[in-house]
Structure 1
Amino acid sequence: MILPDGYSDVPAGKVAAVVTHLEMTARPAPRSDPSGAWSLRQVETPPLEWFRDLYRRVGEEWLWFSRIQMPDAELAARLHSPQLEVYALVDGGRDEGLLELDFREPGQCEIGMFGVTAKLVGTGAGRWLMNRALEIAWSRPVERVWLHTCTFDHPAALGFYQRSGFRPFRRQVEVADDPRLDGTAPREVARHVPVIE
């Protein structure tokens, strides 16, 4: 459905975000790594508790909620698929960044999850993690790497992805129940998105 021009009401108890899908169809020129003592580890068969903890620490402030609400069996089937790879950015011996590369669609890689915890925002860790993501993705027989971001994410996210070589190709509006009203997310997070009951 195409939204009409002008304002469209969002019901109380809901949140709405503009989602921008971005892609690259050729490997971009490598970007230099910022200095930092980070490492990357692949997490084989990620435990759901571990995944949800890191997912929350990275994304709760940006209203990431889909993987928290996903039933265990569905999340396990996704994370444990042999065509889906989960990585953690490690800083000082602790997992502080999340990367999910989805190769389930032949010839494509979707960066399903990408981000670092608040501790590392602005340190260059995101650039370092994106460099690793693109190295891994383009080392496979893919013709396209893509992802999406939304207006709930960090304000610099869209520009960051474009500087990384992605170009926007689609825009959508997503409306969902506000996860702060059912306890999925704490009431005090994401103050940049007001709660309307």
Structure 2
Amino acid sequence: MTMSVRDVPAGHVATIISHLEMLEKPRLPLLESDLYIERWADPSAEDYCALFRKVGEPWMWTSRLLMDRDGLTAILDDPAVEISLVRDGNEAVVGFIELDFRVPRQCEIAFFGLIPALNGKGQGRWMMSRALDMAWRDGIGRVWLHTCTQDSPRALPFYQQCGFRIFRQQTDLMEDPRLTSLLPRSAAPHVPILE
């Protein structure tokens, strides 16, 4: 067995990305929640990034924040990309689900998350049940997603419990967004800062 170990340069973050898939629609549990989902038609890049930051900042989500506005707007305006807001009983937005149908016969759950105040409160299973119900439509033969070590430590086991199976893993190295001022230094306290 060959092992390759490399130092992470100062000012950078290393991560392991896990890609997961399911190849047939699971039996979806009948779950109840005080939350509800509604389609988000025509979000502006600014509104989208504000919600993306609200949900993902604790986990160091950066991908959409690093995109140029034209590239992001092209995704948001694509009719094969469906974004839904998750709202609570007071109609406050507490999360979102982004489904990407741009590859024929596939659905990528591109983003899936709740605000930090709802993490660990049992709403994720209800939300995933709804996401899978929306993803598995006629003609879809594969639903997939990815997570990484910069996400919640509960994300990977949660996706596996929901029926997803890992089909690929990758490593990545990026500049630490907390040191470039893209995110505050308080973001992702579970990921060490290497200055």
TM range (shorter): over 0.9
Q: Deviations over 1:24-57 (max 9, x none)?
A: 0000111231x42111011111111221111111
- Which residue number corresponds to residue 132 of structure 2? 134
- Which residue number corresponds to residue 192 of structure 2? 194
Q: Distance in 2 between matches of 1:132 and 1:146?
A: 15
Q: Distance in 2 between matches of 1:104 and 1:94?
A: 29
Report the residue type matching 1:11 in the other structure: P
1:14 equivalent to 2:5? Answer: no
**SS class of match (1:112):** strand
Q: Distance in 2 between matches of 1:184 and 1:171?
A: 26
Deviation at residue 6 of structure 1 after TM alignment: 4.2
Q: Deviations over 1:154-196 (max 9, x none)?
A: 1111111011110011111011111111111001111111111
Give the share of equivalent positions with the same residue, in percent: 45
Structure 1 outlier segments of 4+, above 4 Å: none
**SS class of match (1:67):** helix
Deviation at residue 10 of structure 1 after TM alignment: 1.4
Q: Please give the residue correspondences for 1:35-74 in structure 2 after superposition, counting only pairs within 5 Å.
A: 35-74=32-71
Q: Please give the residue correspondences for 1:97-116 in structure 2 after superposition, counting only pairs within 5 Å.
A: 97-116=95-114
What is the aligned length? 193
Is there any run of 5+ residues in structure 1 with no aligned partner, and where? none
Q: Distance in 2 between matches of 1:30 and 1:67?
A: 30
Q: Distance in 1 between matches of 2:61 and 2:8?
A: 19
Q: Distance in 1 between matches of 2:169 and 2:67?
A: 24
Q: Distance in 2 between matches of 1:155 and 1:188?
A: 17
Deviation at residue 108 of structure 1 after TM alignment: 0.4
Q: What's the Cα RMSD here?
A: 1.1
**SS class of match (1:41):** strand
Q: Deviations over 1:51-103 (max 9, x none)?
A: 11111111101000111111111100011101000011101211111111000
Q: Distance in 2 between matches of 1:54 and 1:88?
A: 10
Report the residue type matching 1:112 in the other structure: A
Specify which of 72, 75, 78 is matched with residue 78 of structure 1: 75
How has the CA–CA distance of structure 1 residues 154 and 7 changed in structure 2, closer, same or farther, with 3 Å as cutoff? same
1:153 equivalent to 2:145? Answer: no
